[in-house]
């Protein structure tokens, strides 16, 4: 799952996203914007799966808590972005939810790396 998240991050970083609705730029979907979005989806899927798969390396609720934060942040960001595109109005602050989810997932990876570097493998 970590490899899926890493692949998604590389894909999202390699391709430019499409402009959000309400900007002065063209609002049609482009091939590079779709590849960027695919990379984002892979990233969040990988982070969510990693949180769940390695949840036993922390005290009981934390792996699930981080997985829920990643999932809710991604779903919230996706819903806000879809609503902005559907009504063709001003962009909603979906980037905030997206960054919260990404920060939670990356924080879990940092915790996981620290825990594994100490040789703890419950």
Q: What is the pLDDT along the chain (122 residues), one digit of tens a residue?
A: 999 999 999 999 999 988 776 667 766 788 998 999 899 889 989 988 888 888 887 777 888 888 888 888 888 888 877 776 666 656 667 778 888 888 888 888 888 888 888 876 55
What pTM, to 2 d.p., does this model score? 0.77
C-beta separation of 39 from 97 below 8 A? no
- Residue 12 has a pLDDT of 92
Query: Is residue 93, in this structure, part of any structural domain at all?
Result: yes
C-beta separation of 2 from 46 below 8 A? yes
Query: Is residue 70, in this structure, part of any structural domain at all?
Result: yes
Token pair 């960027």 is found at 36
How many distinct structural domains can be found in the chain?
1
Structural domain boundaries enclosing 45: 2-117
How many residues does the structure list for the chain?
122
* Token pair belonging to 32: 């590079």
Query: Is residue 122, in this structure, part of any structural domain at all?
Result: no
Which residue, among 78, 72, 15, has the nearest Cα to 41 in the 3D structure?
78
Query: Is residue 67, in this structure, part of any structural domain at all?
Result: yes
């Amino acid at each position: 799952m970590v490899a899926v998240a890493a692949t998604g991050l590389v894909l999202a970083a390699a391709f430019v996203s499409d402009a959000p609705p309400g900007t002065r730029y063209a609002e049609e979907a482009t091939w590079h914007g779709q590849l960027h979005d695919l990379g984002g989806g892979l990233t969040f899927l990988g982070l969510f799966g990693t949180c769940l798969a390695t949840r036993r390396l922390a005290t009981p609720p934390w792996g699930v808590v981080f997985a829920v934060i990643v999932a809710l942040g991604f779903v919230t960001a996706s819903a806000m972005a879809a609503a902005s595109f559907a009504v063709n109005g001003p962009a909603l602050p979906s980037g905030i939810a997206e960054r919260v989810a990404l920060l939670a997932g990356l924080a879990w990876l940092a915790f996981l790396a620290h825990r594994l570097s100490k040789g703890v493998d419950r």
